[in-house]
Amino acid sequence: MTTTTPFGCANAAVLGEAKVQIGRYQGLRSTNSLGLTRSRHVPLSSVSSSSLIRAVATPAKPETKRSKVEIFKEQSNFIRYPLNEEILTDAPNINEAATQLIKFHGSYQQYNRDERGGRSYSFMLRTKNPCGKVSNQLYLTMDDLADQFGIGTLRLTTRQTFQLHGVLKKDLKTVMSSIIRSMGSTLGACGDLNRNVLAPPAPIQRKDYLCAQQTAENIAALLTPQSGFYYDVWVDGEKFLTAEPPEVTKARNDNTHGTNFPDSPEPIYGTQFLPRKFKVAVTVPTDNSVDILTNDIGVVVVTDDNGEPQGFNLYVGGGMGRTHRMESTFPRLAEPLGYVPKEDILYAIKAIVVTQRENGRRDDRRYSRMKYLISSWGIEKFRSVVEQYYGKKFEPFRELPEWEFKSHLGWHKQGDGSYYCGLHVDNGRIGGVMKQALREVIEKYNLSIRLTPNQNIILCDIRSAWKRPITTVLAKAGLLHPRFVDPLNLTAMACPAFPLCPLAITEAERGIPDILKRVRAVFEKVGLKYNESVVIRITGCPNGCARPYMAELGLVGDGPNSYQIWLGGTPNQTSIAKSFMNKVKVQDLEKVFEPLFYYWKRKRQSKESFGDFTNRLGFEKLQELVDKWEGPEASPARYNLKLFADKETYEAVDKLAKLQNKNAHQLAMEVIRNFVVSQKNGKSQ
């Protein structure tokens, strides 16, 4: 097999990461030719040769510092104790150890931070939906559970899952078991293990898309916990498992290269699982709907000239989370690792996971993600260690075309005679009349669902005759064709933040509607056209759940009612942004937005995006423009157009506008502008 050659680093300039020194930590150690390590979990008789790498389930050096969570995991009997006891008590909350363990089951303990004078505890549940696939039965179950046990809304996440907020402890078992019995799961949606595996959500009947989605499902199955703790706690040990492909079982059980814990109920994870969360995405060339470079592992289908999948390119080392004013923590883009034939993909994934399991830091959770391991080692050393567990050399990374962000919104043919319809959902929050309309359509036509990595929803398997009645029902609820949605909203994302997220520093989901309106007003003030847009993402803290560090304009909460402003991401999510300004108060945002957008309008090159513009000018020049800003030049007087001829029309438009958090005038202007644009483009809408 061909030996790999050094690849170009996709993020060599990111925050000077090559200069960042992170203290080394040896937690879980491999038993290899440099010295066998004894462990009570691995008898020496299982070590057949000193040339084989043998994993151990507990730290080789007990005196080495470990985080508290590592101790909770070790003492938990594979993520059972004390959670199994805590959920039975009369208290509204659970203790510290159980709070950490319930994450592995797909739940976070929260309390309402808007309330004063005591804590009102509840739980957020997150589902696990590889590729964003949701059956008709599961969607209807989640819809019911939101009303019966939640806060009446469903939240679509940036990892193609549902979040159900506001579940009381006394109802946890009922809700969990309902999800499980509807063939859903929350297992591993949170915690120190593989999270939901992303893939392009569109149900396109094309070989590369089908391969990407099947591969995502296989990776999810490979890395699903095997010890049964989830079913023991929530359905008294009864298991609801679907048959997995034999290649998944074979890859999981294979221990040819010392990847597994022999005779353990968790052959890949052992008692300690992974040092931190682990994220995987799979996609096809050009389709960057999954933010491929933000994942621990990015998998890209490689096809031959006939479109037949042959293998996969692998990226490693992406991740968003960081800590304010700690430059040793940083967002990072994944970089190329190599290429593997399609029959080897599960073995390669397993080898990467085991490398992180054995070498990722377990003393300080701020540095436990795989991106820090790769930053410390360098890609060449990381590749060499992974190859020991893989048993082969990686082939050279195959050349790929340019990436594009694909929203998959609107009506499209699936390729099998049916249609799919992608619907924009502001910040992924499904509630009110929108929730009722979706329920009506999904239930009546027995539709299956796909959730997108941009917090949107796709209705699948729609017959041609159903398009008009479905469109009518959805439009009445404000679920419009994307051409009738403000372009700024189409690519914007925000995390939930207040009131329930315990990590939030300031608003995100509740604040973004007003911020987007203010950005639109700035656009109009400086003369930018309605159909021009920038990618805006907002998070309430630096952990980066809405991936703000990939946005052209990222707002990251860094104090009460203030944001750190990040600039320089690109529309196709291939460049990482950089911190531009700190602690900008929410009421002062226009003082930054106006000069930036004004000079983008006047100084940009042909078809230059806002992110590319900010990178070309440089932050020193941009800061100078912001500091000297005194307002735009006076623009010509605007016409005062009377849009509504009668009160009845106005009231009808106003009712529809309120569903989108707009007024009648704003919605009418959007429709008119879109119509004018479509005519200029020579398209009949």
Task: Please state the three-class secondary structure of 60-73 as a single string.
Answer: CCCCCCCCHHHHHH
**CA proximity to 371, closest of 478, 295, 480, 479:** 295
Helix and strand tally (H, E) in the chain? 20, 19
Q: 383 is written with which tokens?
A: 């590749």
Q: 30 is written with which tokens?
A: 């491999």
Domains 410-485 and 490-628 share a fold: no
Q: Where are the beta strands (DSSP E) in 102-239?
A: 107-111, 121-126, 133-134, 154-156, 162-167
CB-based burial of residue 222 (10 Å sphere; 0-12 exposed, 13-18 middle, 19+ buried)? buried
pLDDT score recorded for residue 453: 98
Beta-carbon count within 10 A of 274 CB: 26
* Whole-angstrom distance, CA of residue 25 vs CA of residue 67: 12
The superfamily in CATH containing domain 203-405 is Sulfite Reductase Hemoprotein, domain 1 (3.30.413.10)
DSSP state letter for 132: G
Beta-carbon count within 10 A of 644 CB: 15
What residue segments make up the domains of the chain, in order of their start? 203-405, 410-485, 490-628, 647-681
Report which residue type is found at 517: K
Q: Where are the beta strands (DSSP E) in 541-596?
A: 553-559, 562-567, 578-585
Question: How far is the CA of 15 from the CAs of 375, 427, 546, in angstroms?
Answer: 12, 29, 20
pLDDT score recorded for residue 64: 76
Q: Are strands 280-283 and 297-303 parallel, antiparallel or unpaired?
A: parallel
> Omega before 43 cis (within 30°)?
no
* Whole-angstrom distance, CA of residue 276 vs CA of residue 76: 17
* Whole-angstrom distance, CA of residue 378 vs CA of residue 376: 6
Backbone angles phi, psi at 377, to 5 degrees: -80, -40
pLDDT score recorded for residue 71: 98
pLDDT score recorded for residue 658: 77
How many degrees, rounded to 5, is the angle at CA 398 between CA 394 and CA 403? Answer: 130
Per run of 10 residues, the mean pLDDT along the chain (length 685 residues) is 35 35 40 31 30 39 79 98 98 98 98 92 98 98 98 98 98 98 97 98 98 98 97 92 91 98 97 98 98 98 97 98 96 98 98 98 98 98 98 98 98 98 98 98 98 98 98 96 96 96 96 98 96 97 97 97 98 97 98 98 97 98 97 61 67 77 75 68 48
The superfamily in CATH containing domain 490-628 is Sulfite Reductase Hemoprotein, domain 1 (3.30.413.10)
Task: Give the containing element (helix H, strand E) for 461.
Answer: strand 457-462
pTM here is 0.87
pLDDT score recorded for residue 267: 98
CA pseudo-torsion sign 435, 438, 444, 447:
negative
Helix, coil or strand: residue 403: coil
Q: Where are the beta strands (DSSP E) in 47-146?
A: 107-111, 121-126, 133-134
Question: What per-residue string of b and e applies to 164-197 under the rule 16 or more CB within 10 Å gives b?
Answer: bbbbebebbeebbbbbbebebbbbbbbbbbbbbb
pLDDT score recorded for residue 671: 79
8 A C-beta contact, residue 434 and residue 659 = yes
**CA proximity to 571, closest of 289, 209, 201:** 289
pLDDT score recorded for residue 667: 78
What are the residues facing 150 on neighbouring strands?
A: none
Helix, coil or strand: residue 308: coil
pLDDT score recorded for residue 196: 98
- Sheet of 309-316: strand order equals 280-283, 297-303, 309-316, 335-341
What are the residues facing 281 on neighbouring strands?
A: 198, 298
Backbone angles phi, psi at 521, to 5 degrees: -65, -40
- Residue matched to tokens 């080392």: 317
pLDDT score recorded for residue 417: 97
* Whole-angstrom distance, CA of residue 364 vs CA of residue 65: 9
Distant-in-sequence, close-in-space partners of 17: CB < 8 Å, separation ≥ 6 = 11, 330, 332, 375
Report which residue type is found at 315: Y
Q: 22 is written with which tokens?
A: 């992170």
**CA proximity to 375, closest of 97, 22, 70, 44:** 22
pLDDT score recorded for residue 418: 98
**CA proximity to 127, closest of 83, 98, 157:** 157
CA pseudo-torsion sign 172, 175, 181, 187:
negative
* Whole-angstrom distance, CA of residue 388 vs CA of residue 381: 11
Does domain 410-485 bear CATH number 3.90.480.10? Answer: yes
8 A C-beta contact, residue 240 and residue 183 = yes
* Total count of residues recorded for the chain: 685
Helix, coil or strand: residue 421: strand
**CA proximity to 497, closest of 555, 449, 446, 439:** 555
8 A C-beta contact, residue 225 and residue 257 = no
pLDDT score recorded for residue 195: 98
8 A C-beta contact, residue 25 and residue 366 = no
* Whole-angstrom distance, CA of residue 530 vs CA of residue 486: 8
**CA proximity to 356, closest of 232, 285, 290, 268:** 268
pLDDT score recorded for residue 336: 98
Question: How far is the CA of 95 from the CAs of 48, 167, 436, in angstroms?
Answer: 43, 17, 37
CA pseudo-torsion sign 405, 595, 544, 162:
negative
Separation of CA 290 from chain center: 8
